[in-house]
Structure 1
Amino acid sequence: MSNKIQLNMLENGFDFILKSFDDLDNDELKYTAIHLYSGVLLVLKERLYHIGEELIFENPKKFNKQSLKNGNFQSVNFNTLLERLSEHNASISEEFKTELEWLRSERNKMEHFQVNVRLDALKSHIVNILVHLIPYIKTELVHNDLLDEDDEKLQVIISYLHQYEEYVQAKLNTIEKDEGIKKKIIDGLECPLCTQETVFIDGGEAYCYFCETKFSDFKEAYINENFNLYEIIKDGGTDPRNECPDCSSESMIYLEDSLSYICLSCGVLYSYEQLKACARCEVNLAYSNDPYEPAFCDYCLDFFKSG
């Protein structure tokens, strides 16, 4: 059992972020900025806390359990927080840092002075911060088993963002600009959670670059979301799953939008012209080198050889 004190920093951070959404809906962008900044910092402090309790003290030498429990200590400041995260390989990206520094500056002005900021500019910065925040939460907290991916407040945050048009467009633009990600994404394959065509499959592992979800069983999630196998079996419909000629799993499906076949297990991709129904059994898919010549699956080829 962990001997760390439960500070509820992450829960409080999520509360601030959710409050910022209420402000955003009411065009209270001043308070959106203030609450969002506070929420993001608490999320980052939570990550630092799991690296070392004493690190969230501005002066780690003054660390003691009772002060931590009572909240009677000087918490790490913004610059020190980012430095320590970087020192322990949990740093935020330069783009994220730049956006946070801008928000920090504007938030300080808003708290102490009358500030005139263009609403569209402020909203743009807020959206950019959120675009960087979710991947950080997933990578540094969820994927390190410090936060359950199904955490209720996290899911409320993600659900809100996936319905917020400015966020969706900004996130897709970020993906579009990354050539490395664009080459990995499978055209026509929708994520079963967010419905965006931003999924990458490699060697049995699948990841969505839009909702930042790492799937333990992408095949099951995709099939359950897109097909009702019970009704197909009951009513005599066509099972969408085919045997993959590469890994032999019943995971190969046809993507109508991109005219291609994709294996939901191993990720191998074939164009419509590269595969066709076996000319003998008419069940399994077979490699096709010539559209005018019959193609045979491995099972039928073995049958011919044995005869």
Structure 2
Amino acid sequence: MSDANRTEFTNPSTFILLGIPGLEMAHVWIAIPFCALYIMAILGNFTILCIVKRQTSLHEPMYYFLCMLAVSDVGLCTCILPKMLAIFWFNSKEISFNACLTQMYFIHSFSVTDSGILVAMALDRYVAICHPLRHSTILTNLAVAKLGLAVALRSTVFSLPYPLLARQWPYCRTNLIPETYCTNIGVVNLACADTRISNHYGLFVLFCVKCLDVFIIAVSYIQILRAIFHLPTKDARLKTFGTCISHLCAILVFYFPGLFSSLAYRFGQNVAPHFRVLMSNVYVLMPPMLNPIIYGMRTKEIRDRLLWLFAHKGK
């Protein structure tokens, strides 16, 4: 085999994203709810951003972190949905090798960013409830900006190895990926080399980054609950705990589908492929769509502002 042919053989110019295995005939109809979820996510998160920007009373750490989460959520679903809809509606399944690795990077980057922001929000709730008199001095605008920068840098550092490792493998098998977007496992499984380092790194990020984030959040809420139980009245305890409900819901919406999706890819040999792919899509779309609803319904300041806007438009 000539060098030219070998280069073309081991470095595919394109991958083919097959969509949802076994449900190809229903792709057109499956795309409709996915498109609706995407539109709701975009509108909801931009509404949050506009409200926080215009309402000076919301210029506080919790709402700054909420804006960071909104931007990250929009980025996460936007790097996946347009190509997914192109597959479902226009049968545009080809994606270039470099575009596939770029998509892989951004998926992991925004996912790690979301996790880091949820940790920052947990720390904000901890300081607000356990050290209320020092909240404004501890979480200054500069401290919030530094936390946001640290979260962004962390996501970059931990996400770059995914495409860098995937790029170094030789690909001499099929270029068909039974997914709707370029997952690390979906791409690496096509390599004809020992890719254990890529698989081990994926587990490292799952357990040593996201599980560490969950641990920090859990410790924060243990301290929060201890402080709440020391409050003098039941009404005070309920009111204080109520400020954490939105954040707790966002945590559940983000981590549980993500954990199931990650474990199903690695250990769920008996999980139906179409169900696994659907769950990975739900993991990407549900948090960006639900977070604005959760915070809009549970946060009085945002809810009041929304009601005022709707009332004003109705006149």
Task: Tell me which protein shows more helix as a share of its residues.
Answer: 2
* TM-score, normalising length: structure 2: 0.28
Q: Which has the higher contact order (CA 8 A, sep 6+)?
A: 2
Task: Tell me which protein shows more strand as a share of its residues.
Answer: 1
* TM-score, normalising length: structure 1: 0.29
Larger radius of gyration: 1
